[in-house]
Amino acid sequence: MMKLFCQTYSRLRIVPTLTLCIAISAPTLSRADIIYQAITLADVGITGFLNHSERLESKPHDLLIAGNASIIGQEFMLTGNAFADQLADAAVNGINTNDLVISDGLSQQAIAAGEAIMGTAASFALTQGILAINNLSQTESYTIDFEADWTYLVDASITHVHTQFATALSEISLESHLHRSLFDLTVSSDSDLGGGLLTDNKTQAFSIFLLPGESDVLNLTVNAAGVATTAAPVPEPSTRLCLVSDCLGQQSCNGAYINGELDTRNKMFLKNAHNSSRTPNYFTGNHSLSWRS
């Protein structure tokens, strides 16, 4: 079985529109009863500089911006007749990552997808990017303009309400050491709340002001995760928890395979996907969004 996930979006500072198409080849499954997919993309780019009196044509020499990007984790878990996959990517755009200028910045993506017939599929991908901003001037204040561009797609579907469950999660968070949370997005598709496809793309401008000698750090995290599980009949809460929690630790659970150890944050997400109400506590099943500029 071949599944093709496509998402079109415009990367910052790149005129042509890019289309992300991810082909995932699954083992031969007679039918995909329970499916989840989560795609999360985010860019943060530098768009300009100002001092106390005017807009500057280029970055001042006494203002230093350094970038770093990394993959925090990407793991999957399988039990029974199921398939799961994930993809994580993080990069700093710029010739000199220790001295970023206009049009430079961060680019991150996280993708998780899976399907099950009789068993459990779960996966996640988590990335992080950091921009360290230092005003080395002892007399001049600077304003740095940024633009954030993000896209999400989540989808979860089942065919039997009483014996199947699927959920997909997308998260984007942008925090400032000085200003705390600048942007926080959590969106999910949950089969217990109707499931279905949710997708959106937005661009948001914001600015960071630094006094002489002041510093700030921007932290961008991008997360995608999902679970698809089935049983006939649906097991009791304690059994549903075992399907995931045991497989995430050192024990085996019904012949499960797990590639490494999931990070704590996504481990809680997978556990909560099988709580007593069959509705994850980790999110509401719709989406929440806040922005501070």
Residue 31: the pLDDT is: 57
Distance CA 226, CA 224 (A): 7
Residue 163 pLDDT class (50, 70, 90 cuts): confident
Element (H, E) at 243: helix 237-248
- % of the chain with per-residue pLDDT over 90: 57
Residue bearing tokens 């630790």: 249
Contact 214, 135 (CB under 8 A): yes
Please indicate, yes or no, if residue 9 is contained in any of the structural domains: no
Identity of the amino acid at 46: I
Average pLDDT over residues 175-194: 90
Please indicate, yes or no, if residue 64 is contained in any of the structural domains: yes
Task: Look up the pTM and report it.
Answer: 0.74
- Token pair recorded at residue 64: 């230093």
Answer yes or no: is pLDDT of 217 > 70: yes
| CA distances, 202 to each of 67, 185, 218 (Å) | 23, 11, 19
Please indicate, yes or no, if residue 67 is contained in any of the structural domains: yes
User: Each residue of 254-270: pLDDT tens digit?
Assistant: 333 233 333 444 445 44
Buried b (16+ CB within 10 A) or exposed e, 81-110: bbbbbbbbbbbbbbeeeeebebebbbbbbb
Please indicate, yes or no, if residue 225 is contained in any of the structural domains: yes
Nearest to 147 by CA among 219, 90, 204: 204
Query: 209 lies in which domain range?
Result: 30-231
Answer yes or no: is pLDDT of 243 > 90: no
Residue 32 pLDDT class (50, 70, 90 cuts): low
How many domains, in total, are found in the chain?
A: 1
Answer yes or no: is pLDDT of 239 > 80: no
User: Each residue of 105-134: pLDDT tens digit?
Assistant: 999 999 999 999 888 999 999 999 999 999
- Token pair recorded at residue 268: 């809680």
Count CB atoms within 10 A of the CB of residue 168.
31
Answer yes or no: is pLDDT of 169 > 50: yes
| CA distances, 132 to each of 175, 268, 273 (Å) | 12, 30, 36
Please indicate, yes or no, if residue 285 is contained in any of the structural domains: no
How many CA atoms lie less than 13 Å away from 258 in the CB half-sphere?
Answer: 23
Please indicate, yes or no, if residue 122 is contained in any of the structural domains: yes
Please indicate, yes or no, if residue 41 is contained in any of the structural domains: yes
Count CB atoms within 10 A of the CB of residue 293.
11
Please indicate, yes or no, if residue 264 is contained in any of the structural domains: no
